[in-house]
């Protein structure tokens, strides 16, 4: 499968018997860390670490060469054995697969936290929808009663060769659009900056590169936006066999003929932090970098903070902090639960803090920083982070970690044993989770696979502050968990039909109502594929892309959804309003795509804007009119490049 790095997972138990804390951190102030991590004291200090790595690598080379010479001399070696290749970072494998694949009230993004926008494929700017698709940016005017394509530009500059690049997600701050992508040809995360006028005209400004490995995750998004502050996560695998400085966080503005020497380091040694845990570069060490860029400035200027830890990672942004969870690899089926650490990087620029832990979150939705100053994290015993498709499995014991933010310290303390609560396992191929009000919801379904026959399943509702666990039986899988205001929604399949079950999350959680769509499955697996528009505390409209009942989730990579399904919620009673259907044209298929010709983030979205309802499906936007009982198509527009001149 394109852009995928999978590894064999081993069975590990997350129990107190396999681990004892170094010290049980006592709570202090509710949200202020008692101590913070220490950075490297100087460049010389960091250089000394890399020197020790290089010396050990050289010693191992010489030992291997000596062993081969001795074997040859004794006649045990029938022919020359080639030297073992130096380890390479995992994203290099993704590069090959990827290249093969290349043939607020006005928010339109289903975000995890209000006020923390997430990089997506469609945003709203004034009277215009801005859409990122297949290496291009488009604007469509929806002001007044309008529905009209306005402008289109390549999602890269005229002096940028898009070969080997992927343009995945977009954010808008004021009149500035940023497109976040990854370029194997130019050295890492690529940030394209564009201006948008009040009339919806797009103008390319500049391209910047942040040196990094591939950030891609089948669930998470690499970028967030809080006000004008762009937050970008990027991993950097450091190898003792080569030059670790070559992978260090650095930034440059693109120009024709740009050289590697143009990169300017944005992470000095004094902004690189670690716990006191020993690191083995031969088992894998990564520099997890969080860069914050002020989009209010005309010239992009980013400052980076990095933490040093194992390569396995999950990245989460709350309104106050960035959390990076790092996880070490495992040694086999009999190994204990992997050692981990969770780093907290405050958004106010103060020093990070950390806590030693066990296991790994499934994805960003495993985290919840609540209003009482506690961090809650759903953990899988054998998880290895969310890079590529690492989140798309359900294997290993589960636990809920609940710790005060004040227990984060200088990286020497561990989460105490009683901070972990073992949870029941959920049957299914891929775990899903969501925090809604006082509850953590979780369950499992088919994920990116084709729907499987399911007659017995369950969603678990956990009162995360108290630890009470409730099992709610379902006749379908759990493929999506969403909030309906302060209540919940489960979306899943029984193998042929699509089911949406509403949950009343009161003192005792219960299933409230169920809607069934015959011969259908959800058409988007990503969180942004769904949207709920509240009309009151208990009522609202929801939209979800759908496809045929046997279609796998991987369909979203190459084809738009068949339709957008719209339902009305009245006090958790769900009723169908109808669908807005796709009618792709030949022009959609022959779009002259030059980059990002696989829809990694999907391509279909329900949009609720200023009392109007739209369905984005590929290159089409369909508008529908909603009355008390149904939705009826009123018009549609196709903004494919064949319909609109693309500016180069």
* Closest-CA residue to 581 (of 627, 533, 632, 642): 632
- Distance CA(251)–CA(468), nearest Å, equals 48
Model pLDDT, residue 330: 56
| Stretch among 142-146, 233-237, 389-393, 397-401 having the lowest mean pLDDT | 389-393
Q: How far is CA 625 from each of CA 90, 415, 578, 608, 609, rounded to the nearest angstrom? A: 48, 53, 11, 11, 12
For residues 77 and 398, which has the higher predicted lDDT (pLDDT)? 398
Model pLDDT, residue 54: 87
Instruction: Give 29's pLDDT tier (boundaries 50, 70, 90).
Output: very low
* Closest-CA residue to 523 (of 434, 451, 584, 612): 451
- Report whether pLDDT(12) > 90: no
Instruction: Give 331's pLDDT tier (boundaries 50, 70, 90).
Output: very low
- Distance CA(463)–CA(155), nearest Å, equals 44
Compute the half-sphere exposure of residue 365: CA atoms within 13 Å on the CB side of its CA.
25
Write out pLDDT tens, residues 402-427.
999 999 999 999 999 999 999 999 98
Rounded to a whole number, what is the largest CA-CA distance in the chain?
87
How many structural domains comprise the chain?
1
> φ and ψ at 334, to 5 degrees?
-95, 5
The edge-to-edge listing of strands for the beta sheet with 410-414 is 312-317, 321-327, 339-346, 353-358, 410-414
- Distance CA(127)–CA(197), nearest Å, equals 11
Domain assignment present for 91? no
For residues 339 and 159, which has the higher predicted lDDT (pLDDT)? 159
Instruction: Give 75's pLDDT tier (boundaries 50, 70, 90).
Output: low
Domain assignment present for 73? no
Instruction: Give 644's pLDDT tier (boundaries 50, 70, 90).
Output: low
Instruction: Give 66's pLDDT tier (boundaries 50, 70, 90).
Output: confident
Torsion sign across C-alpha atoms 615, 617, 622, 628: negative
Instruction: Give 599's pLDDT tier (boundaries 50, 70, 90).
Output: very high
DSSP state of 53: H
Domain assignment present for 553? yes
Asked if 344 contacts 26 with a C-beta cutoff of 8 angstroms, the reply is no
Model pLDDT, residue 349: 79
The edge-to-edge listing of strands for the beta sheet with 117-118 is 117-118, 223-226, 229-238, 285-294, 302-309, 272-273
Model pLDDT, residue 103: 33
Write out pLDDT tens, residues 344-385.
999 887 889 999 999 999 999 999 999 999 999 999 988 778
Model pLDDT, residue 337: 54
Sole residue written with tokens 């006082």? 438
Sole residue written with tokens 């716990």? 275
Write out pLDDT tens, residues 260-299.
889 999 889 999 998 888 888 888 888 998 999 999 988 8
- Distance CA(536)–CA(478), nearest Å, equals 27
Give the mean model confidence (pLDDT) for residues 512-523: 96
Domain assignment present for 478? yes
Domain assignment present for 305? no
Is residue 511 classed exposed, middle or buried when 0-12, 13-18 and 19+ CB atoms within 10 A define those classes? middle
Identify the H or E element spanning 66: helix 43-73
Strands 620-626 and 612-617, sheet pairing: antiparallel
- Report whether pLDDT(74) > 80: no
Write out pLDDT tens, residues 176-204.
999 999 998 887 899 999 999 999 999 99
Domain assignment present for 108? no
Model pLDDT, residue 249: 85
DSSP state of 388: B
Q: What is the mean pLDDT of the chain?
A: 85
Instruction: Give 329's pLDDT tier (boundaries 50, 70, 90).
Output: low
Domain assignment present for 528? yes
Instruction: Give 112's pLDDT tier (boundaries 50, 70, 90).
Output: very high
DSSP state of 424: -
- Distance CA(390)–CA(370), nearest Å, equals 26
- Report whether pLDDT(106) > 90: no
pLDDT above 90 as % of the chain: 59
Residue-number span of the structural domain to which 467 is assigned? 430-581
Residue 266's beta-bridge partner residues?
none
- Report whether pLDDT(468) > 80: yes
Give the mean model confidence (pLDDT) for residues 613-631: 95
Instruction: Give 486's pLDDT tier (boundaries 50, 70, 90).
Output: very high
Chain centroid, CA 87 distance in Å: 26
- Report whether pLDDT(93) > 60: no
For residues 560 and 340, which has the higher predicted lDDT (pLDDT)? 340
> φ and ψ at 501, to 5 degrees?
-115, 125
């Amino acid at each position: 499968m394109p852009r995928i790095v999978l590894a064999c997972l081993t069975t590990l138990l997350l129990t107190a018997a396999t681990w004892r804390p170094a010290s049980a951190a006592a709570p202090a102030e509710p949200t202020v860390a008692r101590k913070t991590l220490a950075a490297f004291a100087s460049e010389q200090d960091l250089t000394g670490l890399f020197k020790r790595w290089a010396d050990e690598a050289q010693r191992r080379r010489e030992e291997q060469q000596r062993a081969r010479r001795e074997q040859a001399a004794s006649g045990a070696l029938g022919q020359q054995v080639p030297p073992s290749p130096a380890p390479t970072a995992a994203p290099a494998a993704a590069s090959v697969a990827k290249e093969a694949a290349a043939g607020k009230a006005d928010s339109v993004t289903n975000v995890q936290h209000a006020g923390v926008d997430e990089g997506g494929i469609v945003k709203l700017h004034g009277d215009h929808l801005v859409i990122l698709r297949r290496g291009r940016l488009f604007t469509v005017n929806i002001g007044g009663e309008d529905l009209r394509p306005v402008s289109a530009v390549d999602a890269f500059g005229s002096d940028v060769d898009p070969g080997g690049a992927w343009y995945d997600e977009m954010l808008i701050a004021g009149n500035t659009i940023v497109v976040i992508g990854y370029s194997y040809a130019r050295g890492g995360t690529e940030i394209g900056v564009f201006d948008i006028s009040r009339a919806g005209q797009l103008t390319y400004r500049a391209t910047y590169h942040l040196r990094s490995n591939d950030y891609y995750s089948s669930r998470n998004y690499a970028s967030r936006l809080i006000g004008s502050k762009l937050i970008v996560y990027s991993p950097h695998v450091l190898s003792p066999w080569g030059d670790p400085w070559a992978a260090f966080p650095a930034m440059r503005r693109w120009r024709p003929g740009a050289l590697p020497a143009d990169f300017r380091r944005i992470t000095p040694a004094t902004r690189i932090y670690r716990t006191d845990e020993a690191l083995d570069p031969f088992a894998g060490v990564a520099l997890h970098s969080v860069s914050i860029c002020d989009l209010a400035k005309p010239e992009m200027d980013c400052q980076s903070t990095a933490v040093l830890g194992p390569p396995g990672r999950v990245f989460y942004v709350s309104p106050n902090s960035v959390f990076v969870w790092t996880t070490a690899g495992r040694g086999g089926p009999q190994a204990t639960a992997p050692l981990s650490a969770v780093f907290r990087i405050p958004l106010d620029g103060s020093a990070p803090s950390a806590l030693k832990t066990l296991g790994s979150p499934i994805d960003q939705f495993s985290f919840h920083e609540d209003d009482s100053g506690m961090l809650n994290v759903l953990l899988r015993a054998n998880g290895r982070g969310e890079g590529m498709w690492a989140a798309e499995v359900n294997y290993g014991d589960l636990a809920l970690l609940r710790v005060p933010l004040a227990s984060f310290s200088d990286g020497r303390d561990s989460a105490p044993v009683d901070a972990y609560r073992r949870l029941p396992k959920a049957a299914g191929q891929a775990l899903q989770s969501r925090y809604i009000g006082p509850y953590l919801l979780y369950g499992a379904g088919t994920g990116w696979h084709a729907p499987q026959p399911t007659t017995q399943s369950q969603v678990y509702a956990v009162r995360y502050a108290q630890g009470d666990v409730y099992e709610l039986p379902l006749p379908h899988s759990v493929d999506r968990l969403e909030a309906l205001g302060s209540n919940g929604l489960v979306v899943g399949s029984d193998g042929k039909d699509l089911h949406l079950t509403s949950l009343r999350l009161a003192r005792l959680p219960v299933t409230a109502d169920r809607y069934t769509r015959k011969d259908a499955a959800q058409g988007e697996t990503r969180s942004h594929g769904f949207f709920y528009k509240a009309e009151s505390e208990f009522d609202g409209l929801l939209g979800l892309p759908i496809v045929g009942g046997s279609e796998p989730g991987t369909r979203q990579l190459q084809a738009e959804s068949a339709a957008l399904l719209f339902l009305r919620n009245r006090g958790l009673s769900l009723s169908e309003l109808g669908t807005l259907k796709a009618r792709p044209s030949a022009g959609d298929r022959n779009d002259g795509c030059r980059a990002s010709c696989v829809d990694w983030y999907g391509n279909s979205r329900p949009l609720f804007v200023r009392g109007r309802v739209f369905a984005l499906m590929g290159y089409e936007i369909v508008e529908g009119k909603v009355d008390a009982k149904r939705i009826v198509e009123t018009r549609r527009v196709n903004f494919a490049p064949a319909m609109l001149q693309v500016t180069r």
